[in-house]
Amino acid sequence: MGEILQCSSYMNDQANSLFLKGFMIIHLLPNWEELLSLTRPENWCPQAVYYATLQFLSSPHHHQLKSFLQCVLLKQSLGFIRNHLFLDPYLNLALRRVMMVNPSLFCKVILIPLCDGQQGGGCSLKEASLFGDIILKSYIPASSVANTLISIAQLSDHHYFICHSVFIILLLEKKVALPFRVLECLVHHFCSMNHQSKMPLLWYHSFYLFVEIYVHECVSEQKERLIETIQLVFHPQWSTSIHQIISRTIYSSLDSCQQNDSTMMIEDDDSTNWNLNSV
């Protein structure tokens, strides 16, 4: 098995057929991880990684697929980008296939490790943009969007990376309904940076996008914290725009409260007049 897969590095027709036959049974064996390591995945060509991904996606064992994605597909993709400054088409296809088949697993096993500095993540802006293109053009269920946003927001508490803002922007642009817990995590994510004098432009962009889409669902206390933060972490253009959007929602909510109070007073007056007339 190991010899067959090691000889398939050029993926000509004959080697390709042997490669596929080998991977049709490798995930069925009890010592599949040992056999996989014997093939030296770090030396595989992108075509081999793509065809291996297809085989593991068909495996009924979730832990096998998760291990393969973490140890082979993610590492190969990052390594290729860092060596060539672009993502090979076969690796791109493999990642898109995973996203299409199991978007929740893609977010857990590919996206979150890219953001986690303790797992060697904290990827560069170039790497985040290439992985982000897959997110941009794919469907992700609302529950996966919410859980991923929570995870990224919590990771930024330990150490902020520019990729956090990239992925937050892409996930916010899905415009799914977010539970209050997710909104609170995102508010905390932005407000936790209020000790900084300046942040990257992408952070302001993510802040603006969050406010533009979801500020109407935030409570007054959250809005006040957001206004305080954007005044402390000031940017000449972004801060003004963000402050205007939040202030507009505060004033509109006050107007609606005043209208409700006026309506209640009119109803009380009508009831009083009705009682006097009845007397």
Predicted local distance difference test score (pLDDT) of residue 252: 65
Task: Report domain extents, the chain.
Answer: 178-279
Poorest-pLDDT segment among 46-50, 80-84, 180-184, 187-191: 46-50
Predicted local distance difference test score (pLDDT) of residue 20: 59
For the cut 90, the answer to whether the pLDDT of residue 115 exceeds it is yes
Between CA 77 and CA 155, with CA 122 as vertex, the angle to 5 degrees is 125
Predicted local distance difference test score (pLDDT) of residue 187: 97
Q: Which of 7, 91, 12 is nearest to 43 (CA)?
A: 7
Q: Taking the model in full, what pTM does it have?
A: 0.84
Mean pLDDT, rounded, of the chain: 84
Tell me if 140 sits within 8 A of 171, measured CB to CB. Answer: yes
Q: What is the Cβ-side half-sphere exposure of residue 237, based on CA atoms within 13 angstroms?
A: 3
- The whole-number average pLDDT for the span 12-21 is 51
